[in-house]
Amino acid sequence: MSENLNVSCIQTDLVWENTDQNLKEFTAKFDLLPSDSELVILPEMYTTGFSMNPEKLAEKMNGKSFIWMKEQSARIEKIIVGSLIIKEDNKYFNRLIAMFPNGEYFTYDKRHLFRMGKEHEHYSRGESKIIFKHKSWRICPLVCYDLRFPVWSRNKNNYDLLIYVANWPDSRREVWKSLLVARALENQAYVIGVNRVGEDGESLSYAGDTMIISPKGKILRNTNEYQSEIMNVEISLDELNQFREKFPVMLDADDFKIL
């Protein structure tokens, strides 16, 4: 039985530290999605931009952005994935939420905090990954700077699709593109990177470069640079499994544990 996955990636500008306006704009963009898309991916910190002001912007897990995700996922009948600023136990997290239409959800707190932007001074890092399932697909979502750390994303034959949501500046766009391809090749999985465009409140510019890469390292589709765009892709689990059977790299992979 063929089991394809239809994914929509929303590459857009973000209104700096303005949750209400960003939620309003994403709600409008959801109305433009194809009816057959199943998974919608938003950029990192999609409600605020990459802000180091969590004291001002953080929400709790029952806050308006969480409620919005729940309501919108049910309305459009699609899984919504994106990260936002969450306060929990007097700590701040760059927390990715994967929200299902039935109200079920999974969370991942960004593990690698961007030291050069002083993210580690404002946020607490996560300690564990998540892998959630949709149909027969096993999906591992990570956040931005996690892309630079291959050990953390290493596939132990436990996922089929690796997702990165990001605010990755255009000054390092070649790194972004190169590492996404590397992660697909070394993990023998589909990789999707969803980035923003525009300029943030720190005067950093973003080119987007949202793309999907095949398990063979081929860029299957990418967005226009510096433009807001919805990228829709369909990927095949059959093709992935056939490639893994024909070229079983995983059988020779090194075993390891992260301490």
User: Catalytic residue among 70, 110, 140, 177, which?
Assistant: 110
Of the pLDDT bands very low, low, confident and very high (cuts 50, 70, 90), residue 213 is very high
Mean pLDDT across the stretch 95-119?
A: 98
The domain locations on the chain are 4-252
Mean pLDDT across the stretch 109-131?
A: 97
Question: Given a cut of 90, is residue 258 above it in pLDDT?
Answer: no
What pLDDT is stored for residue 2 in this prediction?
A: 56
Of the pLDDT bands very low, low, confident and very high (cuts 50, 70, 90), residue 128 is very high
Give this prediction's pTM: 0.97
3-state secondary structure 225-242: CCCCEEEEEEEEHHHHHH
Q: What angle do CA 142, 145, 149 make, to 5 degrees?
A: 80
Q: What whole-number percentage of the chain has pLDDT above 70?
A: 99
Of the pLDDT bands very low, low, confident and very high (cuts 50, 70, 90), residue 51 is very high
Question: Given a cut of 70, is residue 1 above it in pLDDT?
Answer: no
**Separation between Cα atoms, residue 169 and residue 198, nearest integer Å:** 10
Amino acid in the structure at residue 86: I
Question: Given a cut of 90, is residue 259 above it in pLDDT?
Answer: no
Cβ atoms of 48 and 17 closer than 8 Å: yes
In the residue annotation, 24 being an active-site residue is answered as no
Instruction: Quickly name the fold that domain 4-252 has.
Output: Nitrilase/N-carbamoyl-D-aminoacid amidohydrolase (3.60.110)
User: Catalytic residue among 78, 119, 144, 177, which?
Assistant: 144
Q: What are the angstrom distances between the C-alpha of 16 and each of 28, 51, 64, 122? A: 18, 8, 17, 18
In the residue annotation, 140 being an active-site residue is answered as no
Q: For residue range 159-196, what is the model confidence (pLDDT) as tens digits?
A: 999 999 999 999 999 999 999 999 999 999 999 999 99
Mean pLDDT across the stretch 135-145?
A: 98
Cβ atoms of 72 and 80 closer than 8 Å: yes
Question: Given a cut of 60, is residue 7 above it in pLDDT?
Answer: yes
